[in-house]
DNA sequence: CCGCGAAACCTAAATGCTTTAGGTTTAGCC
DNA sequence: GGCTAAACCTAAAGCATTTAGGTTTCGCGG
């Protein structure tokens, strides 16, 4: 019987693939082991337990997402950059639903302080700096962006707005328009 | 041994309370049965299985939320009505985290077509009609609103932005400002 | 008051997942 | 060629879900 020759990274990658293929909540160590032709208990040499496995998928997804965002933003700025970033999120969520679900889970302190997390945050900030936002408002803008994009993707993911007229694409464009306008003309304390 | 005298409604309400108190993923039929001083298997007379139990919590939460939204909106209009609706969501999510988590799960077709769902949708539409939005854009506005509010609450719930400076309250107000502005001056196809 | 039917509750058991503990085998390296 | 670390195993405990089928309680009509 040939060995599978597992490593931590291989196990995590396979787990992410499995979550993408069969859905996040059917991601089970048993199924994972089955895929490797290995006993379930053997996986515990490579992963502490199920919850840390999910945390590692989270980190993996964060790194992959950061790469895609960086690639997408490229030399763009303004609305183009905003759309590129948001679409990168959306593409990722659609192509890798399991990984994306893992991303929605509460991040560990370690994950929050990880390099990929900082990279995503940095790219987002860089994009936002293309707008005339006061430095003190950047956090609020970031939060709004994250809330809107992730909220929209969550709605799509749970089927609330899929396969319904009018097309979701239009709604998505409207959302991006609204964000673009908001960043361009940001409401501060004493607006009229 | 006095009987617990369970009914479907009692079981569901207790399950919702348990999810609020101990967290959604520790909501288990065993724990639920333990709370009633009853065997786990006995619950299956009142609830088909765990996933339908969650679906019922979803429906319960929808009905409760509809009541609160209706109460909050009251005679308000414009930004006041918007804030009332959004805050009703937020209050609910904070006070009943377990119920709110159930709400985020994919809704069944039956749930989508249920009366409470229609009530929430109706109240939202009524609020939006206080803005000068063309009828054809109401769906997009609804989707943006739902995405932003739920997205924000999700960020709060998973600890991404809690206990961080600057205060989340300001971010929330900014988000409401942005939505208010957007509904007031909605971007259509050929905007400049 | 009696009995009867429905509903509430029970025990028992199968299945499957998670996790720990400890033992065996393989591969690489000095 | 043997030693060591890592890869893999078996065994078993613990818990959750779910089905099947049996018993008790309660209310209601006769």
Protein B163 CA to nucleic acid D14 C1', in Å? 37
Q: What one-character DSSP code corresponds to residue B107?
A: P
Average pLDDT over residues A43-59: 94
Q: Compute the residue count for chain B.
A: 192
- Indicate the domain borders of chain B: 1-47, 60-184
Cβ contacts of A187 on chain B, cutoff 8 Å: 174, 177-178, 181
Which residue places its CA closest to the C1' of nucleotide C8? Answer: B5
Instruction: Tell me the C-alpha distance between A134 and A132, whole Å.
Output: 7
| C-alpha torsion sign, points B180, B183, B189, B190 | negative
The answer to whether strand C lies under 7 Å from the CB of residue B5 is yes
pLDDT digit string (tens) for A61-93?
999 999 999 999 999 999 999 999 999 999 999
Extended strands (E) in chain B: none
Per-residue pLDDT of B82-125, as tens digits, reads: 999 999 999 999 999 999 999 999 888 889 999 999 999 999 99
**Topology of domain B1-47, CATH:** Arc Repressor Mutant, subunit A (1.10.10)
Residues 6+ apart with CB under 8 A from B40: B29, B30, B32, B33
Where does residue B145 rank: exposed (0-12), middle (13-18), buried (19+ CB within 10 A)? buried
Q: What's the CATH class of domain A60-184?
A: mainly alpha
Counting beta carbons within 10 angstroms of the beta carbon of residue B152, is it exposed (0 to 12), middle (13 to 18) or buried (19 or more)? buried
| Per-residue model confidence (pLDDT) at position B192 | 46
């Amino acid at each position: 019987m040939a060995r599978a020759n597992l490593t931590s990274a291989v196990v995590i990658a396979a787990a992410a693939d499995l979550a993408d293929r069969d859905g996040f909540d059917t991601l089970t160590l048993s199924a994972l082991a089955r895929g490797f032709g290995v006993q379930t208990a053997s996986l515990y040499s490579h992963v502490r337990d199920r919850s840390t496995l999910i945390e590692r998928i989270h980190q993996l997804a964060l790194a992959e997402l950061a790469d895609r965002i960086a690639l997408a933003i490229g030399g763009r700025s303004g609305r183009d950059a905003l759309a590129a970033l948001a679409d990168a999120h959306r593409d990722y969520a659609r192509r890798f639903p399991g990984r994306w679900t893992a991303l929605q889970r509460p991040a560990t302190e370690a994950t929050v302080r990880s390099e990929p997390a900082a990279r995503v945050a940095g790219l987002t900030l860089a994009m936002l700096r293309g707008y005339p936002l006061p430095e003190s408002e950047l956090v609020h803008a970031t939060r709004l962006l994250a809330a809107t994009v992730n909220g929209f993707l969550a709605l799509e993911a749970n089927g609330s707005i899929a396969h319904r007229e009018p097309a979701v694409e239009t709604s998505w464009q409207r959302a991006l328009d609204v964000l673009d306008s908001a960043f361009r003309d940001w409401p501060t304390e004493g607006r009229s």
